[in-house]
Every structure is written in C-alpha cells, then in structure tokens.
Homo-oligomer: A and B are copies of this chain.
Amino acid sequence: MKVVLIGAGRLAHHLGGALLSAGHDIMQVYSRTMESASRVAAMAGGSPTNRIADIKADADAYIVAVKDSALPDLIPQICKGREQKVFLHTAGSIPMDVFKGMALHYGVLYPLQTFSKERKVDFRPIPCFVEGNDDYSVGVATELAGSISGNVRLMSSEERRYVHLAAIFACNFVNHCYALSADILAKHGLPFDIMLPLIDETASKVHAMSPAEAQTGPAMRYDENVIRSQSRLLASNPFVKEIYDRMSISIHQKAISND
C-alpha cells in the first residue's frame, strides 16, 4: 500500500520501519521540522517534507502519528483536497470521529506499546486495535495492522479509551515506580541493576496468574510496623511518601475486597 506518514516522533519512527519491512511504500514523511521528517524518511523511505501544502494526494492511506494535542489543528489541513483517501490516527484516547466531516474514510490504528527512540521493537506480538467509519476504512486499517502485527482486533473508540487508561497504569506508572526505586537506591549509593531480577519476575508472574494473586509485600500482609517504618524513611520527600502511603492503603483495600 502507498502510505504517507504524518509525524516523526517515536511512534511514527517505529511504525514507519515496520510498514517498510512489511513491504509497503512509504511515499512521504511530514513533520513540522525538516530535520525530523528527514530522519524518519531516511529510515522508512519516501521524501521528507515540512510543508502541509506539499503532502502528496495519491497515497492509499495517511497515517497521522502526532501528539494528541496537535490533532485538532492538523487534521483539517491534511484532509483538505484528499477527502477520498483513508486517514488513520494512532492515539489511544482520541475518538475516531475527530475526522468526521473532514474526510469520507477514516479510522484508527492504535498499537499498544511503549516506544523509545534508541530501541528496536518487534511489532509482531504488539496488540493493534483498529477501527473505521465504514467497511473500506476498516479493511485498510486491518490490512495495514495485520501486515505488521499478528495481534489485530477491532475496537470501538470508547473501549480504546479504557485500554489506554489501563496502559497508563501498566506501563507509565510502572516505569515511574521503577524510577522512584532507582532514586531511593541512588540516594544511598546503590546500583539500580540489583532490582532487575525482581522486576523481571514481577512482570513474568502476571503471565501465569492474575495481578491480584501475584501481590506480595508488607501492604498485602498489612504488616503495619514495616509500612510505618518505610513511610518514615521517605519523610524528607513528602510527595513520594504520599505515593507510598496511598499505594499501601490501596493494596490493602484490594486484598480485603478479594478475600
């Protein structure tokens, strides 16, 4: 399929690479700056541009992978003059209808993964959630997603919002817990890598049992002495102490409600 990539961030970078590998023709990469458009185009193919007026009109699909807040401004400009084409955005929390009235065929291709620049990602196992306003758009979104991922599902905008919210907990908040852990260790001259076997096992366990069954630790046992003494260790950092206290109470509440 002939694809134009709108955006040159981390997701556009990885998606572009995966689409190229799957045999698609990335005709063009648009970004606000020529520098970032060129960087992605050099990897995924196609010509770079930083002018919306220069975006080609003869692609099969336009994939809009920009930050959510840029979508409302960008979409009318991109659709204009290309109304017969298929437009797909890649955002978890933005409804498909952000394209409504701007184009005839539109939808969503949302890959559920955390992307960092300097890191290879294997797209095959990544769940890709697709949606379209008509059969044609669903077909294009499904074909593109299915060419890079072995795990494609149709999903409504409403469900996708909750998947995105769940992902914030399972990824962004988890990583922040790693970061707070690293801060505590660094403050006492201890290396973060001592946590890696524990981090790996914690992630691995929830493949085999539910997170509720996998929960361990003083808050789960409601070992008040440990909870109080650990909370006191964080007294110099009231904000992190507050997170410690709330997470401990929340773990305990969940343990009680599951009993």
Contact = CB atoms under 8 A, between A and B. Distances in A.
A53 interface: no
Interface stretch (A23-31, A56-64, A80-88, A245-253): A245-253
Interface string A222-234: 0101100110011
Interface in A172-220: 172-182, 184-185, 187-188, 190, 192, 194-203, 205-220
Q: Is the interface of A mostly helix, strand, loop or mixed?
A: helix
Contact of A203 (B169, B202, B213): B202
Nearest to A165: B230
Interface in A229-246: 229-230, 233-234, 239-240, 242-244, 246
Interface in A142-184: 151, 153, 159, 161-182, 184
A223 B119 contact: no
Contact of A243 (B162, B192, B247): B247
Contact of A172 (B69, B164, B216, B249): B216
B184 A162 contact: yes
A201 B121 contact: yes
A104 interface: no
A26 to B, nearest CB: 23
Interface in A66-100: 67-69, 93
B112 A175 contact: no
A181 B166 contact: yes
Nearest to A231: B165
B240 A243 contact: no
A93 B229 contact: yes
Given A116-B213, A121-B201, A243-B243, 12 more contacts: A10-B216, A68-B225, A112-B195, A118-B209, A166-B181, A169-B181, A170-B181, A171-B217, A176-B215, A176-B251, A181-B211, A202-B203
30 contacts: A10-B216, A69-B225, A112-B197, A114-B216, A125-B197, A153-B194, A159-B190, A161-B230, A163-B194, A166-B184, A166-B190, A167-B195, A168-B219, A168-B230, A169-B181, A169-B244, A171-B199, A172-B217, A172-B251, A174-B177, A174-B202, A175-B205, A176-B247, A176-B250, A178-B211, A179-B210, A179-B212, A179-B215, A192-B211, A196-B207
